[in-house]
Amino acid sequence: MRPATLDALVERGLLILALSSIGILLLITVFIFREGGPLLFRVGIGNFLGTSWQPAEGQFGIATMVAGSAAVTVGALLLGVPLGLACAIVLAEMVSIRTRTILKPAIEVLAGIPSVVYGFIGIVVLIPWIRQNLGGAGASVLAGSIILGIMVLPTVIGISIDALQAVPKSYREGSIALGATRWQTIRRVVLPAARSGIVAAVILGMGRAVGETMAVIMVAGNSVQIPHSPLDSVRTLTANIALEMGYAAGDHRSALFATGVVLFVIIMALNATANLARGWQRRRTVIRPPISQATSADLGKTTRTIRDPEAC
Protein backbone atom coordinates (compact mmCIF):
# COMPACT_ATOMS: atom_id res chain seq x y z
CA MET A 1 0.00 0.00 0.00
CA ARG A 2 1.38 3.43 -0.98
CA PRO A 3 2.19 5.86 1.86
CA ALA A 4 -0.20 8.46 0.46
CA THR A 5 -3.06 5.95 0.42
CA LEU A 6 -2.26 4.83 3.97
CA ASP A 7 -2.22 8.43 5.19
CA ALA A 8 -5.60 9.04 3.56
CA LEU A 9 -7.10 5.96 5.23
CA VAL A 10 -5.74 6.97 8.64
CA GLU A 11 -7.05 10.49 8.18
CA ARG A 12 -10.53 9.25 7.25
CA GLY A 13 -10.54 6.78 10.15
CA LEU A 14 -9.68 9.52 12.64
CA LEU A 15 -12.34 11.77 11.10
CA ILE A 16 -14.94 9.02 11.50
CA LEU A 17 -13.97 8.51 15.14
CA ALA A 18 -14.19 12.24 15.81
CA LEU A 19 -17.59 12.50 14.14
CA SER A 20 -18.85 9.44 16.02
CA SER A 21 -18.22 11.13 19.38
CA ILE A 22 -20.13 14.18 18.18
CA GLY A 23 -22.89 11.91 16.91
CA ILE A 24 -23.19 10.18 20.29
CA LEU A 25 -23.55 13.57 21.97
CA LEU A 26 -26.27 14.54 19.48
CA LEU A 27 -28.12 11.27 20.09
CA ILE A 28 -28.05 11.83 23.86
CA THR A 29 -29.31 15.37 23.37
CA VAL A 30 -32.14 14.30 21.08
CA PHE A 31 -33.15 11.47 23.44
CA ILE A 32 -33.27 13.71 26.54
CA PHE A 33 -35.25 16.45 24.82
CA ARG A 34 -37.62 13.94 23.20
CA GLU A 35 -38.43 12.35 26.55
CA GLY A 36 -38.63 15.50 28.66
CA GLY A 37 -39.60 18.25 26.23
CA PRO A 38 -43.31 17.35 25.81
CA LEU A 39 -43.96 17.55 29.56
CA LEU A 40 -42.28 20.96 29.73
CA PHE A 41 -44.61 22.30 27.05
CA ARG A 42 -47.69 20.62 28.55
CA VAL A 43 -47.09 21.70 32.15
CA GLY A 44 -45.49 25.03 31.36
CA ILE A 45 -42.14 26.45 32.42
CA GLY A 46 -43.76 28.46 35.22
CA ASN A 47 -45.39 25.42 36.82
CA PHE A 48 -42.29 23.30 36.29
CA LEU A 49 -40.28 25.86 38.25
CA GLY A 50 -42.79 25.83 41.12
CA THR A 51 -42.07 24.70 44.67
CA SER A 52 -44.37 21.67 44.90
CA TRP A 53 -42.93 18.29 43.88
CA GLN A 54 -45.80 15.79 44.18
CA PRO A 55 -45.59 13.51 41.13
CA ALA A 56 -48.50 11.34 42.28
CA GLU A 57 -50.74 14.45 42.23
CA GLY A 58 -49.39 15.81 38.96
CA GLN A 59 -47.30 18.58 40.56
CA PHE A 60 -43.78 18.75 39.15
CA GLY A 61 -42.20 21.88 40.62
CA ILE A 62 -38.42 21.60 40.82
CA ALA A 63 -37.65 24.92 42.53
CA THR A 64 -36.74 23.21 45.80
CA MET A 65 -34.20 20.99 44.02
CA VAL A 66 -32.83 23.98 42.11
CA ALA A 67 -32.36 25.78 45.44
CA GLY A 68 -30.67 22.70 46.90
CA SER A 69 -28.28 22.40 43.95
CA ALA A 70 -27.49 26.10 44.14
CA ALA A 71 -26.83 25.94 47.88
CA VAL A 72 -24.37 23.04 47.78
CA THR A 73 -22.69 24.43 44.64
CA VAL A 74 -22.13 27.86 46.16
CA GLY A 75 -20.84 26.26 49.34
CA ALA A 76 -18.47 24.05 47.35
CA LEU A 77 -17.10 27.05 45.45
CA LEU A 78 -16.62 29.05 48.66
CA LEU A 79 -14.46 26.20 49.95
CA GLY A 80 -12.83 24.88 46.79
CA VAL A 81 -11.95 28.07 44.91
CA PRO A 82 -9.75 29.75 47.60
CA LEU A 83 -8.00 26.47 48.42
CA GLY A 84 -7.59 25.52 44.76
CA LEU A 85 -6.33 28.95 43.68
CA ALA A 86 -3.87 29.13 46.59
CA CYS A 87 -2.55 25.67 45.71
CA ALA A 88 -2.25 26.61 42.04
CA ILE A 89 -0.26 29.75 42.89
CA VAL A 90 2.13 27.77 45.06
CA LEU A 91 2.65 25.05 42.45
CA ALA A 92 2.96 27.41 39.48
CA GLU A 93 4.97 30.25 41.02
CA MET A 94 6.68 29.26 44.26
CA VAL A 95 7.96 25.68 44.16
CA SER A 96 10.63 24.04 42.04
CA ILE A 97 9.86 22.18 38.85
CA ARG A 98 10.74 18.88 40.51
CA THR A 99 8.31 19.50 43.36
CA ARG A 100 5.60 20.51 40.91
CA THR A 101 6.02 17.33 38.86
CA ILE A 102 5.48 15.31 42.03
CA LEU A 103 2.61 17.24 43.61
CA LYS A 104 0.50 18.03 40.53
CA PRO A 105 -0.08 14.38 39.53
CA ALA A 106 -0.80 13.56 43.17
CA ILE A 107 -3.54 16.21 43.21
CA GLU A 108 -4.94 14.96 39.92
CA VAL A 109 -5.38 11.54 41.51
CA LEU A 110 -8.24 13.10 43.51
CA ALA A 111 -10.23 13.32 40.26
CA GLY A 112 -9.93 9.57 39.78
CA ILE A 113 -11.33 8.61 43.18
CA PRO A 114 -14.94 7.35 42.78
CA SER A 115 -17.53 9.71 44.17
CA VAL A 116 -18.98 6.93 46.31
CA VAL A 117 -15.68 6.87 48.24
CA TYR A 118 -16.10 10.56 49.05
CA GLY A 119 -19.64 9.77 50.12
CA PHE A 120 -18.47 7.02 52.47
CA ILE A 121 -15.92 9.36 54.03
CA GLY A 122 -18.67 11.93 54.50
CA ILE A 123 -20.96 9.40 56.21
CA VAL A 124 -18.27 7.97 58.50
CA VAL A 125 -16.35 11.13 59.39
CA LEU A 126 -18.06 14.35 58.35
CA ILE A 127 -21.73 13.79 59.20
CA PRO A 128 -21.06 12.55 62.79
CA TRP A 129 -18.70 15.51 63.38
CA ILE A 130 -21.31 18.03 62.19
CA ARG A 131 -24.02 16.35 64.29
CA GLN A 132 -21.91 16.39 67.46
CA ASN A 133 -20.36 19.85 67.13
CA LEU A 134 -22.81 21.97 65.14
CA GLY A 135 -26.15 20.26 65.65
CA GLY A 136 -28.79 19.05 63.28
CA ALA A 137 -29.00 15.69 61.58
CA GLY A 138 -25.51 15.99 60.11
CA ALA A 139 -26.57 15.25 56.52
CA SER A 140 -26.94 18.80 55.26
CA VAL A 141 -25.94 21.57 52.88
CA LEU A 142 -22.71 21.98 54.84
CA ALA A 143 -21.75 18.32 54.46
CA GLY A 144 -22.52 18.35 50.75
CA SER A 145 -20.60 21.59 50.25
CA ILE A 146 -17.49 20.27 51.99
CA ILE A 147 -17.48 17.04 49.99
CA LEU A 148 -18.08 18.83 46.69
CA GLY A 149 -15.49 21.48 47.60
CA ILE A 150 -12.89 18.71 47.86
CA MET A 151 -14.08 17.07 44.65
CA VAL A 152 -13.74 20.26 42.56
CA LEU A 153 -10.16 20.89 43.72
CA PRO A 154 -8.46 18.94 40.87
CA THR A 155 -10.43 20.89 38.26
CA VAL A 156 -9.75 24.30 39.80
CA ILE A 157 -6.08 23.58 40.53
CA GLY A 158 -5.23 22.00 37.18
CA ILE A 159 -6.79 24.67 34.96
CA SER A 160 -5.53 27.52 37.19
CA ILE A 161 -1.97 26.18 36.95
CA ASP A 162 -2.24 26.09 33.16
CA ALA A 163 -3.55 29.67 33.14
CA LEU A 164 -0.75 30.93 35.39
CA GLN A 165 1.94 29.16 33.39
CA ALA A 166 0.53 30.65 30.17
CA VAL A 167 1.48 34.16 31.35
CA PRO A 168 4.67 35.15 29.49
CA LYS A 169 7.87 35.03 31.52
CA SER A 170 8.68 38.58 30.41
CA TYR A 171 5.78 39.85 32.54
CA ARG A 172 7.44 38.52 35.68
CA GLU A 173 10.92 39.65 34.67
CA GLY A 174 9.72 43.15 33.86
CA SER A 175 7.86 43.49 37.15
CA ILE A 176 10.81 42.28 39.23
CA ALA A 177 13.15 44.56 37.26
CA LEU A 178 10.96 47.50 38.27
CA GLY A 179 11.49 46.68 41.95
CA ALA A 180 8.45 44.59 42.77
CA THR A 181 8.72 41.71 45.19
CA ARG A 182 7.81 38.17 44.22
CA TRP A 183 4.38 38.35 45.88
CA GLN A 184 3.65 41.78 44.39
CA THR A 185 4.48 40.38 40.96
CA ILE A 186 2.11 37.46 41.46
CA ARG A 187 -0.71 39.59 42.87
CA ARG A 188 -0.52 42.61 40.57
CA VAL A 189 0.87 41.16 37.33
CA VAL A 190 0.46 37.38 37.02
CA LEU A 191 -3.02 36.98 38.52
CA PRO A 192 -4.61 39.81 36.47
CA ALA A 193 -3.02 38.42 33.30
CA ALA A 194 -4.35 34.93 34.07
CA ARG A 195 -7.80 36.14 35.17
CA SER A 196 -9.70 34.64 32.23
CA GLY A 197 -8.20 31.18 32.70
CA ILE A 198 -8.92 31.27 36.43
CA VAL A 199 -12.52 32.25 35.72
CA ALA A 200 -12.76 29.28 33.36
CA ALA A 201 -11.42 27.01 36.14
CA VAL A 202 -14.08 28.28 38.54
CA ILE A 203 -16.87 27.82 36.00
CA LEU A 204 -15.79 24.27 35.16
CA GLY A 205 -15.55 23.52 38.87
CA MET A 206 -19.10 24.80 39.22
CA GLY A 207 -20.22 22.44 36.45
CA ARG A 208 -18.50 19.56 38.25
CA ALA A 209 -20.36 20.41 41.46
CA VAL A 210 -23.74 20.83 39.77
CA GLY A 211 -23.45 17.47 37.99
CA GLU A 212 -22.31 15.36 40.96
CA THR A 213 -24.83 12.75 42.12
CA MET A 214 -23.71 9.86 44.30
CA ALA A 215 -21.69 11.75 46.91
CA VAL A 216 -24.47 14.32 47.32
CA ILE A 217 -27.10 11.60 47.77
CA MET A 218 -25.05 10.11 50.58
CA VAL A 219 -24.34 13.29 52.59
CA ALA A 220 -26.98 15.95 51.77
CA GLY A 221 -30.02 14.33 53.42
CA ASN A 222 -32.34 14.38 50.35
CA SER A 223 -35.21 16.33 51.93
CA VAL A 224 -37.37 18.14 49.37
CA GLN A 225 -37.25 21.61 50.91
CA ILE A 226 -35.69 25.01 50.36
CA PRO A 227 -32.72 25.31 52.75
CA HIS A 228 -32.68 28.18 55.23
CA SER A 229 -29.51 27.14 57.05
CA PRO A 230 -26.27 25.33 56.17
CA LEU A 231 -27.42 22.59 58.54
CA ASP A 232 -30.67 21.95 56.64
CA SER A 233 -31.10 18.80 54.58
CA VAL A 234 -31.57 19.30 50.82
CA ARG A 235 -32.12 17.36 47.62
CA THR A 236 -30.33 18.35 44.43
CA LEU A 237 -31.53 17.96 40.85
CA THR A 238 -29.18 15.08 40.12
CA ALA A 239 -30.05 13.31 43.37
CA ASN A 240 -33.76 13.61 42.59
CA ILE A 241 -33.30 11.90 39.22
CA ALA A 242 -31.18 9.10 40.68
CA LEU A 243 -33.51 8.45 43.61
CA GLU A 244 -36.80 8.36 41.69
CA MET A 245 -35.97 7.10 38.20
CA GLY A 246 -36.04 3.46 39.35
CA TYR A 247 -39.78 3.47 39.99
CA ALA A 248 -41.03 6.44 37.97
CA ALA A 249 -43.55 5.95 35.15
CA GLY A 250 -45.68 8.10 32.89
CA ASP A 251 -45.56 11.84 33.54
CA HIS A 252 -43.37 11.23 36.59
CA ARG A 253 -40.71 9.68 34.36
CA SER A 254 -41.10 12.47 31.82
CA ALA A 255 -40.67 15.05 34.60
CA LEU A 256 -37.36 13.46 35.59
CA PHE A 257 -36.20 13.63 31.97
CA ALA A 258 -37.33 17.26 31.89
CA THR A 259 -35.15 17.81 34.96
CA GLY A 260 -32.33 16.29 32.93
CA VAL A 261 -33.06 18.83 30.20
CA VAL A 262 -32.64 21.65 32.74
CA LEU A 263 -29.35 20.16 33.94
CA PHE A 264 -28.17 19.68 30.36
CA VAL A 265 -28.82 23.33 29.53
CA ILE A 266 -27.07 24.49 32.73
CA ILE A 267 -23.97 22.36 32.13
CA MET A 268 -23.74 23.33 28.45
CA ALA A 269 -24.04 27.01 29.34
CA LEU A 270 -21.29 26.70 31.98
CA ASN A 271 -18.98 24.81 29.60
CA ALA A 272 -19.56 27.32 26.81
CA THR A 273 -18.80 30.21 29.15
CA ALA A 274 -15.63 28.49 30.36
CA ASN A 275 -14.48 27.86 26.79
CA LEU A 276 -15.07 31.51 25.90
CA ALA A 277 -13.07 32.60 28.93
CA ARG A 278 -10.17 30.28 28.06
CA GLY A 279 -10.23 31.47 24.45
CA TRP A 280 -10.09 35.07 25.65
CA GLN A 281 -7.11 34.14 27.84
CA ARG A 282 -5.23 32.67 24.86
CA ARG A 283 -5.97 35.71 22.67
CA ARG A 284 -4.77 38.10 25.36
CA THR A 285 -1.57 36.10 25.80
CA VAL A 286 -0.84 36.19 22.05
CA ILE A 287 -1.90 39.76 21.29
CA ARG A 288 -0.80 41.61 24.42
CA PRO A 289 2.84 42.83 24.13
CA PRO A 290 5.31 41.72 26.79
CA ILE A 291 6.43 44.18 29.43
CA SER A 292 9.89 44.39 27.86
CA GLN A 293 8.27 45.99 24.76
CA ALA A 294 6.10 48.47 26.67
CA THR A 295 6.60 52.20 26.31
CA SER A 296 8.59 54.18 28.83
CA ALA A 297 5.40 55.88 30.02
CA ASP A 298 3.81 52.50 30.73
CA LEU A 299 6.90 51.39 32.63
CA GLY A 300 6.91 54.58 34.68
CA LYS A 301 3.22 54.13 35.49
CA THR A 302 3.85 50.52 36.52
CA THR A 303 6.78 51.61 38.69
CA ARG A 304 4.64 54.16 40.52
CA THR A 305 1.86 51.60 41.00
CA ILE A 306 4.18 48.94 42.41
CA ARG A 307 6.04 51.36 44.69
CA ASP A 308 2.84 52.92 46.02
CA PRO A 309 2.50 51.57 49.59
CA GLU A 310 -1.28 51.84 49.49
CA ALA A 311 -1.50 49.90 46.26
CA CYS A 312 0.79 47.16 47.55
141: Cα within 13 Å, side-chain hemisphere: 22
Taking a C-beta distance cutoff of 8 angstroms, is the pair 44, 62 a contact? no
Q: Is residue 16 one of the residues assigned to a domain?
A: no
Q: 279-293, pLDDT tens digit by residue?
A: 665 665 554 444 444
Taking a C-beta distance cutoff of 8 angstroms, is the pair 192, 199 a contact? no
Query: What angle, 0 to 180 degrees and rounded to 10, lies between the N-to-C axes of helices 97-112 and 153-165?
Result: 150
Taking a C-beta distance cutoff of 8 angstroms, is the pair 158, 87 a contact? no
User: What pLDDT is stored for residue 311 in this prediction?
Assistant: 44
Q: 253-278, pLDDT tens digit by residue?
A: 888 898 888 888 888 888 887 777 76
Q: What percent of the chain is modeled with pLDDT above 70? A: 87
Gap between the Cα atoms of 117 and 272, Å rounded: 30
Q: Is residue 201 one of the residues assigned to a domain?
A: yes
Domains in the chain, number = 1
Q: Which among 282, 207, 280, 267 is positioned nearest to 29, based on CA atoms? A: 267
2 pLDDT more than 80: no
Q: Is residue 114 one of the residues assigned to a domain?
A: yes
174 pLDDT more than 80: yes
153 pLDDT more than 60: yes
User: What pLDDT is stored for residue 121 in this prediction?
Assistant: 92
The CA distances from residue 312 to 16, 189, 268, in Å, are 55, 12, 39
Taking a C-beta distance cutoff of 8 angstroms, is the pair 261, 36 a contact? yes
Gap between the Cα atoms of 279 and 10, Å rounded: 29
Phi, psi of 250 (to 5 degrees): 65, -135
pLDDT, the chain, mean: 83
H-run or E-run covering 60 = strand 59-60
Neighbours of 22 (CB within 10 A): 9
Q: Is residue 82 one of the residues assigned to a domain?
A: yes
Q: Quote the domain boundaries for residue 230.
A: 65-253+278-307
Taking a C-beta distance cutoff of 8 angstroms, is the pair 153, 109 a contact? no
Q: Is residue 134 one of the residues assigned to a domain?
A: yes
User: What pLDDT is stored for residue 304 in this prediction?
Assistant: 46
Distance of CA 136 to the CA centre of its chain: 28
Q: In the 8-state DSSP scheme, what is residue 54?
A: E
At residue 235, the 3 state secondary structure works out as coil
Q: pLDDT: is 281 or 44 the higher one?
A: 44
What CATH number should be reported for the domain holding residue 239? Answer: 1.10.3720.10
Cα-Cα-Cα-Cα torsion 279, 281, 285, 287, nearest 10 degrees, comes to 60
The CA distances from residue 37 to 51, 65, 269, in Å, are 20, 19, 18
Q: Is residue 290 one of the residues assigned to a domain?
A: yes
Q: Which among 21, 17, 23, 35 is positioned nearest to 264, based on CA atoms? A: 35
Q: Is residue 209 one of the residues assigned to a domain?
A: yes
Q: Is residue 36 one of the residues assigned to a domain?
A: no
Distance of CA 151 to the CA centre of its chain: 10
Q: 124-149, pLDDT tens digit by residue?
A: 999 999 999 988 888 899 999 999 99
